[in-house]
Structure 1
């Protein structure tokens, strides 16, 4: 290219000249913009508009419109642009998210997560069987086996010198060696060493394999052990005064040797310096010397400890604790010397005298020390007590006489002296003690107990009453709880009259008038629970005096007297009770029952006659009199009583008992005749309907019985026993479908019941089982448990219906649903009984009867178990508890009790024995339950 061309290209690519206006030569007009001259600034400062000063969020750090006003138009514009940006961002969000997902998937395809890599293996874990899972090794086993293999693979080559030495030892040379001439004999050189022949004088037995004693390490170890054993035996058998070593425990004894670490040594040194500073700056401070001595003792320097405490005794001669510490660090003989010096310095120290006496092993020397101490310190109660404890009774009485003169404020001394004296002298001692210490209540209580022990019971109440007044005069006010605790102690100390007197004086202290009855009853219950029935009897006596017309107080007092008193005291209490509360029928009945149980039938009749006069229209009194006559083989009297009762108090129960009496006597016609007016008077009493249906069915009038029950379900649609009786009647005559229908209708009518009618569900399940429809029974049971989730009756039946292998699982579900239901507990106890877990079975049987004492089946099961596995005492205890509980419910119990051939006149004991016989293990099963349900009736 020519130079001209080069210059033209350079000019063409260069910058325009200053003040150049494009197109000016063609007539264009030039103009100037803000960008040509830049922003207007008042100060002339330049603005940094580079990219380094720009932020996407906040823009330039310096305002581009600095100095310009921000008006409403600017704000509207900013708002509009913000909305535009948000709208555009919303439109681009889906595309942005898709793009992000694609990039993430692409990245995961190259580098997947750990959980994705093993996803297929996780899914295959569901195919692993239980056996394969159990055979998997533990996490550490593989590592341990590999480490063991590596350890076993270690190899250390044998040194060449050892191999060469072994070769030489096995090598045999037959040449003669003139150097080996021992005792005129010849030796054979074996492996470089001379070994005498067996026949020579210095011969030794050769080792097997050519080994010599120098290189047979096993033989050397055995020999060393033999030598050590011999030495230990010699030392352990030594009786010549040398140290005896335990051959088995000498190594373990080394564990008791304390080895101090450097840190402990440093701490001891620091503490030694500090305590040294304490003892030097304040030598009269006894605890400092004691601490310094104990530090040396802990450090194992007993001699230094004794030296330090000796210096402390010189510096603190009046401190008894320092002397006692010095005696403790010495041997017993030296300790006596130390304490003798201490007594010279501090003759009035009680602690030093007692310590000196305790060091004496001879009883006579100990007495001498204590008597010498009493000469020096005659007013010490501790010294007197220690000295008196060592004396025989006669000498102790003499010393106590002297002790109360020296220490008259010691109450224990006065009381101990009174116990050792005779009755007359004890009264004098206590009177003198009362005059000396008028503020001590224990003296008054001891005086009352003394009079009670000698038969002066009337004086006891006067002493306690006088004590209360005297203590109040001397401003001694004991709290109510303190008095009651003293009364409790007196009763447990065989002084019940004193205890009752204290209770009568203290029971009203600090109790508001409106709270007396409640608090007194609570106090009585708590005292009985703590084993103080006499104190509780005193509380009831005060309560009956304060509230003579309260029936509840009389009843609780009578119950307490029945449990802890005699028949005579109970009879006297009940006679007082009916005189104050003649309208309280329960008191009359309690009195009549006690007379009857004691065998006094005439006395029971007399009480009931008095009850008739006081309560002529009482249903309970009439029925009690009828029961007394019927159970004592007086049916005519019972009939007359019931006839009068129907005239005076024709209640539902009176009519029912009248019909039941005729039925039990076998008079079916009379019973049916009575049912007519009975149902007319009480048409909605369902038990009368059931009685009529039962009697009609027994008389062979099945159609009439069906009609009676049909009328009953209309009159009493909410009564479950009526529906059950109707269904059982239909089932007994082969109409299973109709029975099933009746039960279903009954359940529909009882849908809104609070508990869901579990009896109806249970009967439906048993109906299907008796019909042989096990599958239908299981289905019904599942529905029943959904409707009645907390019904123990259904859960117990469900346990019995399961196969033996599944019964434990069902029992666990039942306990979760209703843990405190007696029927479930009964079913579980029978499982334990079946599995021969006797202790658990006994515990669960006891739990069942505790939860529901009225469940006769639980008592029968408990008694049957004890008959098989218990002792006669345990069987008697269950029988006693059952008679006291007097149960009335339970399928088996009700069936036996309502058996016409056995129920009349049977006691609770006889019923229990029969029920236990039927409920013996192996006889009481699910099928047996079905049979008992079929044979039982709905009548009460």
Structure 2
């Protein structure tokens, strides 16, 4: 029996007094089921383990901690296990496997460790290793080199002991004075400076009085010296104070640095006294320290040690007064007579031009081949004297082209030609001589000679082995254009002769177009014009060439030159509709309406079936208040099978809408829809006509029919929803917009359309007063389209004022180049009164989307409020040049029949009023 304790011999064992064995369950043999609950064990009481003797000799709550050599302190947990021979055999096997695996990877691990150690030592060498090569080289240093190493002084960092002195207190000195006064052996100084016996009635009783007395005596002495002329020193109080204010107060740190630098430079000039920069540095250090006399002495010694260093002489002359500087430079010139710098410095020290000229002429006698001296002398001379000097200069320096060109500019036409010919013979490889000759011919009006000169230049330079650089010659053409006066013939001749150099035939048009565009961006109009002339003569049938040339002329001011260009363009490209329209528009803008009609008549003859030309002719008559002519043109176009297009029918309906004839407008729209049922603008116009007539059901029918034909047309969905909203059925409007979002596919190319629908739904809720529903829709919209600038702009506008900056930052992270976001940020700056930032951001929005009128209107409104009338007019001018056509508010104002034929400035002002009075559409 497990746990049974044998009874002593002769005694009966009392089983009831023994402790039950571990895991004993009463009645288990009779089929009873036993269990132990937490209340039996307790929260911190461990269960009994095998071999537990019942704990007779242990105190309650204590347990013996068991430790095993193999299992360590965990023996108490696994006390029931036994470590036998099988376990030892298993451990031996595993250890042999571990040793085998470790042996297999040891070589690789040691190699990797060795490589890492070598890499670390290569990147972080020891100090001894870094200077090992230098130490080896020390063995080659000779004894004389060792002796020549300068002493650098004492730079010890040890803290030097300082002696401190503490002044004696006044009480101690007073007591000593009183003690000495009792013996009568001391004297004191009264206020008059007379010695009297101490202890008398006039004796000084306090050291403070002594200090005051000394100050008074010193003041009396200074006053007497200032008033006396016969004294040793005469003090000027004002000058004295001025000298004190001009003194430089040097800190202790600067003094220490100057001392160190002085010591180092002294070592430099001592070890190598013939090194000029060392003397210059030492002199400048003393000058910096305020010791000008020492600096002069040093630089004088430098001149003696380095008589052939011109920089030392120049420094010496700089440190001396002007009169003494002349003497210094005279000595320098005596030592270095070929120094151009010294001669020029000596000339600059002279006060009048005549003296400077004498010095330079003397220098030229010594150095006749110095171009700098000749230039300096010519600059000081009059025109006649300069001509004489240059004549001599080109003889002495025939290879310097600048002298030849300067002489040619001073001569007459005939003499200049002779000078340039001599220059060309002396320097046959310089192109500037030929270009100057071409400019000379153009200045005399000999335009036909300019081309010949440039052509001969190219041939002559090529024959002399000069590489003709296309880019360099085009730069010369730009330079000729910017001359005063502009040398346009020279510019054009250069372009004609070099534009094709190094360009393959198949790349000519593309390369030349890029060159012309680059020149236009840089403002070199004449150069770009010359390139386009070459393009027009080489590719006369290319519409793109004529169109880009016309853009350049329009940007340059237009006028007769543009009209002549377009006339030539339509001659070479009669089927190019754009060129005909540009020609007609320029005539119209210049006020020549009959001329525009004539151009369009010629365009009709050349392109009888062109929709663009028919519509241009209609617009010309319509904008000039000729409705009957416009009707006739459109009727004729509708009768022509090739020109009966949807846009022609739309323009016809627009004419009747402006005339106020609703029946005629409805008839044209219905007929146009029968012919072109997929043109959504006709359905939209029909619905708008029914709304204006008050026929809501007919408008619903028109929009529904249009949506059925054009299910992805966002304007039709928005118009249908707006009809329901205006009728008071906001729920139906919500349903229409939700249905539209389901019908528009979720593609990248349809993101803008979906954003427009979300925006319409949000604004519908805002107009209905449901701000929470609007916020919910906006959050959903941004979740679906996180890169939509229109939605972020709406989020910025709808956010509470404290949160707008955060919204703006989030929007700029998502789409910083979107004009809607930029405009919203500009309005935020405007609200914060940050005028300059707001102006910059409004300008940026207008540049990002110049075709959107809403941004121009906001910019114009801002300038009216915070700018000047000139700045507001400038914004209006820029908007007129851009001719905006889009924008929610701009479209609402511009499409209103009451605003037909209004100029851009008038529409701009009306949109500003719309911003102030009406909510977004």
- Name the counterpart of 1:162: 171
Aligned-pair CA distance for 1:908: 1.6
Higher relative contact order (Cα pairs below 8 Å, separated by 6+ residues): 1
Partner of 1:27: none
1:522 deviates by 1.9
Asked if 1:871 corresponds to 2:868, the answer is yes
Give, in angstroms, the shift of residue 394 of structure 1. 2.2
- C-alpha distance after superposition, 1:694-743 (max 9, x if no partner): 12222333222211211222221111111111111111112221111111
Pair 1:531–1:238, CA change in 2 (3 A): farther
Task: Give yes or no for the alignment of 1:531 onto 2:523.
Answer: yes
> How far 1:618 sits from its partner (Å)?
1.2
SS in 2 for 1:929: coil
Specify whether residues 260 and 848 from structure 1 end up closer, same or farther in structure 2 by C-alpha distance, changes over 3 A only.
Answer: closer
Is 1:672 paired with 2:666?
Answer: yes
Counterpart in the other structure of 1:307: 301
| Residue of 464, 467, 470 corresponding to 2:457 | 467
Say which of 570, 586, 593 aligns to 1:594: 586
The answer to whether the 8 Å contact 1:236/1:247 transfers is no
Contact residue 232 and residue 247 of structure 1 kept, 8 A:
no
| Residue pair 2:842, 2:855 contacting (<8 A) in 1 also | yes
1:696 and 2:690 aligned: yes
Tell me how far apart the structure 2 counterparts of residues 809 and 223 of structure 1 sit (CA, whole Å): 72
Instruction: Check conservation: 1:451, 1:460, Cα contact below 8 A.
Output: yes
Distance 2:876 2:219 in 1: 73
Q: Aligned partners of 2:214, 2:674: CA distance in 1, in Å?
A: 113
CA distance in 1 between counterparts of 2:628 and 2:239 reads 105
Gaps of 5+ in 1: 1-54, 58-74, 87-157, 184-188, 197-203, 205-210, 277-287, 934-940
* SS class of match (1:477): coil
Q: CA deviation at 1:823?
A: 1.7
Say which SS state the counterpart of residue 897 (structure 2) adopts. Answer: coil
Q: Is 2:807 the counterpart of 1:815?
A: no
What is the CA–CA distance in structure 1 between the aligned matches of 2:327 and 2:367, rounded to whole Å?
A: 20
Equivalent residue in structure 2 for 1:644, among 607, 622, 636: 636
Which one of 497, 500, 522 corresponds to residue 505 of structure 1?
A: 497
Separation (CA, whole Å) in 1 of partners of 2:248 and 2:452: 75
8 A contact 2:299–2:312 mirrored in 1: no
2:379 counterpart residue number:
389
What CA distance in whole angstroms lies between the structure 2 residues aligned with 1:233 and 1:771?
Answer: 95
Shift of 1:850: 0.9
C-alpha distance in 1, partners of 2:555/2:248?
66
Aligned residue number for residue 409 of structure 1: 399
Deviation at 1:456? 2.8
- Distance in 1 between residues matched to 2:253 and 2:841, nearest whole Å: 51
Contact 1:855 1:887 in 2 (8 A): yes
Paired residue secondary structure (2:500): coil
Q: 683, 689, 694: which one pairs with 2:677?
A: 683
Distance 1:813 1:296 in 2: 61
Measure how far apart 1:802 and its partner are.
Answer: 2.6
Q: Is 1:404–1:414's contact at 8 Å kept on the other side of the alignment?
A: yes
Q: Which residue of 2 aligns with 1:653?
A: 647
TM-score w.r.t. the length of structure 1 is 0.72
Aligned partner of 1:760 in structure 2 is: 757
Q: What does the per-residue CA deviation read over 1:109-130, in whole Å, with 9 as the maximum and x for residues that have no partner?
A: xxxxxxxxxxxxxxxxxxxxxx
Q: For the structure 1 residues 78 and 451, does the alpha-carbon distance in structure 2 shift closer, same or farther, using more than 3 Å as the test?
A: farther
Query: Relative to 1, partners in 2 of residues 1:164 and 1:352: Cα closer, same or farther, differing over 3 Å?
Result: closer
2:462–2:468 Cα contact (<8 Å) kept: no
TM-score, with structure 2 as normaliser: 0.73
**Alpha-carbon displacement from aligned partner over 1:196-245 (angstroms, at most 9, x marks no partner):** 4xxxxxxx9xxxxxx94424588579769978997999999946999886
Identify the residue that residue 909 of structure 1 maps to in structure 2: 905
Q: Distance in 2 between matches of 1:562 and 1:295?
A: 62
Q: Distance in 1 between matches of 2:700 and 2:225?
A: 102
Determine whether 1:898 maps to 2:898: no
Distance 1:291 1:613, change over 3 A: closer
Matches within 5 A, 1:910-925: 910-919=906-915, 923=916
Shift of 1:379: 3.0
Conserved 8 A contact 1:551-1:581: yes
- Confirm or deny that 1:252 pairs with 2:249: yes
Q: Counterpart in 2 of 1:627?
A: 619
Instruction: Provide the secondary structure at the position in 2 that maps to 1:195.
Output: coil
State the distance in 2 between where 1:374 and 1:84 align. Answer: 100
Cα distance in 2, alignment partners of residues 257 and 161 from structure 1: 37
Rounded to whole Å, the distance in 2 between the matches of 1:168 and 1:244 is 38
Shift of the 636–321 alpha-carbon distance from structure 1 to 2, 3 Å rule, reads: closer
Q: What's the CA shift string for 1:793-821, capped at 9, x where partnerless?
A: 22222222233333333333322332222
The offset of 1:434, in angstroms, is 2.8
Q: 1:195 aligns with which of 201, 224, 230?
A: 201
Report the 3-state secondary structure (helix = DSSP H, G, I; strand = E; otherwise coil) of the residue aligned with 1:248: helix
SS at match of 2:891: helix
- Give the 3-state SS of the residue equivalent to 2:201 in structure 1: strand
Q: Residues 789 and 817 of structure 1 are in contact (CA less than 8 Å); yes or no, is this contact kept in structure 2?
A: yes
- Separation in structure 2 between the aligned mates of residue 296 and residue 812 of structure 1, nearest angstrom: 58
- Once residues 304 and 266 of structure 2 are traced to their aligned partners in structure 1, the CA distance between those partners, rounded to angstroms, is 21
Instruction: Give the Cα separation in 2 of the matches to 1:370 and 1:168.
Output: 79
Distance 1:248 1:85, change over 3 A: same
- The whole-number CA distance in structure 2 between the counterparts of 1:881 and 1:293 is 64
- Specify the alignment match of 1:748 in structure 2: 742
**CA separation of 1:195/1:592 partners in 2, compared to 1, >3 Å: closer, same or farther?**
same
Q: How does 1:107-118 map to 2 (within 5 A)?
A: none
Could you say which residue in structure 2 is the equivalent of 1:65? Answer: none
1:192-591 mapped onto 2 (5 Å cutoff): 193-196=199-202, 212-215=205-208, 219=212, 238=235, 246-250=243-247, 252=249, 264=261, 267-268=264-265, 270-275=267-272, 288-291=274-277, 293-294=279-280, 297=283, 300=286, 302-303=296-297, 305-313=299-307, 332-341=322-331, 343=333, 347-493=337-483, 494-591=486-583
Aligned-residue RMSD, C-alpha: 4.1
Query: What SS does the corresponding residue of 2:200 show, helix, strand or coil?
Result: strand
Deviations 1:539-564 (A, max 9, x none): 11111111111111111110001111
CA distance 1:834–1:343, shift in 2 (3 Å): closer
Question: CA 1:819–1:265 in 2, change beyond 3 Å: closer, same or farther?
Answer: closer
Give the whole-Å Cα distance in 1 for the aligned partners of 2:233 and 2:597. Answer: 91
**Corresponding residue number in structure 1 for 2:843:** 846
Paired with 2:490 and 2:788, the residues of 1 have a C-alpha distance of: 53
Distance in 1 of aligned mates of 2:757 and 2:621: 38
**Residue 602 of structure 1, CA deviation:** 1.0
Q: d(CA) in 2 for partners of 1:224 and 1:860?
A: 83
The question of whether the paired residues in 2 share the 8 Å contact of 1:452 and 1:460 is answered with yes
Task: Measure, in 2, the Cα distance between the counterparts of 1:220 and 1:686.
Answer: 110
Relative distance call for 1:913 and 1:240 in structure 2 (3 A) is closer
TM-fit CA distance, 1:633: 1.8
- CA gap of 1:834–1:611, structure 2 versus 1, over 3 A, is same
Aligned with 2:368: secondary structure? coil
1:708 corresponds to 2:702:
yes
Distance 1:221 1:767, change over 3 A: farther
| Counterpart contact for 1:328–1:335, Cα < 8 Å | yes
